[in-house]
Structure 1
């Protein structure tokens, strides 16, 4: 006889995976600008890792060029949302119509995503012919190209000095609204016929092609969709930091997103949230150790970089002992967030009975 588990109880999911995280996020945003910025960065990291998982986890390809699409989104957002007077003085090389325009953030995000998707389309047509590590190296080359263009276009991007003074319009509520909307779209996409085709291509490309799946179209389309959400995330990141430059969107940024994806699980959109939780908050908690600490009466000296070393060790352990990531292919988070049953369980008597049975470890009734 099967025993009722907590994860099978919609009421338990509502409390632990919806209400409790929402309360923690709301509380953190009210603790000051530092914590609010950390939570906003956490949400952006989720969006970045989830969009990367569309390619790396569900299509069978392995891209390392996410930072390039972030950069495109961040700079397009700056062009569209900055004050016209500031653009005229800082970016005189922009066309006059682009200098005069100033859009709301939510409208600008659409154009940021489309611009990143267009770059992905242009680079994807020749690059997606590669497979395995050849594709990874090619997408790393895209980062170098984008960085070179940004650093050498003085009148358009202000060169290596970057763009400062971006309007701080990406508040935590706005970011979480964009995140949840994006995750819902990605979740429905993966659960659709299109998503099943992607998974078939990942598992066996020859069998998928024999069933009539156009592999080239699938690869290019999911690469562009992934880039779209990366461009949106890059725009949000730029407005949180208020300063953007080509140096921020280089190898280190791409490697960080890949780490988040691997830790949480590449074959799971929910894994992006778990990986982001580790990569955003754990290094901050470990940072005080770098200035020295006392353990068992022994005072250890300052060890700069200790938090990075510990996170690297953790990543190695995950790769060795949990190769599929912490969540594997589970979608327990998104299934809880976007399921009607989760929210209606609050008004159903049988859900309370099921939760009580889970506490008592009683078997399911047939």
Structure 2
């Protein structure tokens, strides 16, 4: 029987890991450039997006393509709630903002929670009818949801300011807000997956008919999963809006959902650890490859920048990843303290055998 770490040891290691992240963030916040801090903030927000979509798509097996709709709802709700009445009066030029939203201004944290709850409510309204569909039909229905939200935002001038969008949104998001909510998202969803409820979700993913025959209410489990994923997507959207400080309907094109789906697929569809890895690699890689779009001079040779080249290279990397890791980097596996311990012991045993020889 293989030796595993005790609960106290794993809890102690987890606390040390969180403290290490805290120290790294503290160092970055005090010494890193604004550009690096922006990348770290985007990484945390993308982790929220990827983990919440993994919970829906990878853990429960619901093929949803409407994640960007809930992100948009969260972004608009939090922005409207945190803008001052004077800013709202200046921004809404064509049609004034409806009452009582035009006189409301609340702190950032309640605005984030409300944004998540509103996104979750819309998630329920979408899930109740659409989850009766399966496969490609469900994907098309959820994809349409994202487009409906964008079109509504583009035309409801008295609520979203239409195509003009919202400007001068307070820049409340920082490393503590983004990474704090990223940690909450990962811990909450990971804990839920490890529970009996999470095992029921995995059973639904593998075979809904067999799960139903075992007494699992497939429809209600799927609806709750969709609502939880929508809530965290709305929270991520709120953090994103308060980071970039400007949003409009074009910010929520359907390509945004595919970007999040790429993160999930690269990391491993069905793995929370994979979603974190995929989101981190995508965020850093996208910025690192930006150099390909800038002009380069190599001696007498001048190479002009090619717009969009980084997406071409990123697509090639994705294709290569899928060829060698068809289930993504992690597949359905998770990084655990027991797994790390076993790996260390395996390496140590190999070194001992090598020394004995």
Q: Quickly name the TM-score band, shorter chain normalised.
A: 0.7 to 0.9
Residues 91 and 167, structure 2, Cα contact 8 Å, conserved in 1: no
When the two structures are superposed, what TM-score results if normalisation uses the length of structure 1?
Answer: 0.84
1:314 partnered with 2:327: no
Alpha carbons of structure 1 residues 298 and 191: separation in structure 2 relative to 1, 3 Å? same
Secondary structure (helix, strand or coil) at the match of 2:59 reads: coil
- Which whole-Å deviations, capped at 9, do the CAs of 1:167-216 have from their partners, x for residues lacking one? 11111111111111121111111111111100000011111001111111
Cα distance, 1:307 vs structure 2: 1.3
1:171-320 aligned at under 5 Å gives the runs: 171-293=174-296, 300-320=303-323
Alpha carbons of structure 1 residues 109 and 3: separation in structure 2 relative to 1, 3 Å? closer
When the two structures are superposed, what TM-score results if normalisation uses the length of structure 2?
Answer: 0.86
Mean alpha-carbon deviation: is it higher for 129-138 or for 223-232? 129-138
- Which whole-Å deviations, capped at 9, do the CAs of 1:57-100 have from their partners, x for residues lacking one? 01111111111000000011012111122223434644433333
1:51 partnered with 2:52: yes
- Which whole-Å deviations, capped at 9, do the CAs of 1:207-228 have from their partners, x for residues lacking one? 1001111111011110111000
Separation in 2 of the partners of 1:275 and 1:297?
39
Alpha carbons of structure 1 residues 296 and 134: separation in structure 2 relative to 1, 3 Å? farther
Separation in 2 of the partners of 1:200 and 1:184?
21
- Which whole-Å deviations, capped at 9, do the CAs of 1:260-314 have from their partners, x for residues lacking one? 1101112111112211121111121121123354789976553332211111011
Partner of 1:34: 35
Residues 72 and 116, structure 1, Cα contact 8 Å, conserved in 2: yes
Mean alpha-carbon deviation: is it higher for 301-310 or for 123-132? 301-310
Secondary structure (helix, strand or coil) at the match of 2:100 reads: helix
Residues 241 and 247, structure 2, Cα contact 8 Å, conserved in 1: yes
Mean alpha-carbon deviation: is it higher for 212-221 or for 122-131? 122-131
Residues 117 and 228, structure 1, Cα contact 8 Å, conserved in 2: yes
1:95-244 aligned at under 5 Å gives the runs: 95-244=98-247
Partner of 1:77: 78
Residues 25 and 175, structure 2, Cα contact 8 Å, conserved in 1: no
Separation in 1 of the partners of 2:14 and 2:154?
48
CA-based RMSD of the aligned residues comes to 3.2
Secondary structure (helix, strand or coil) at the match of 1:102 reads: coil
Residues 3 and 358, structure 1, Cα contact 8 Å, conserved in 2: no
Residues 47 and 272, structure 1, Cα contact 8 Å, conserved in 2: no
* Aligned pairs, number: 344
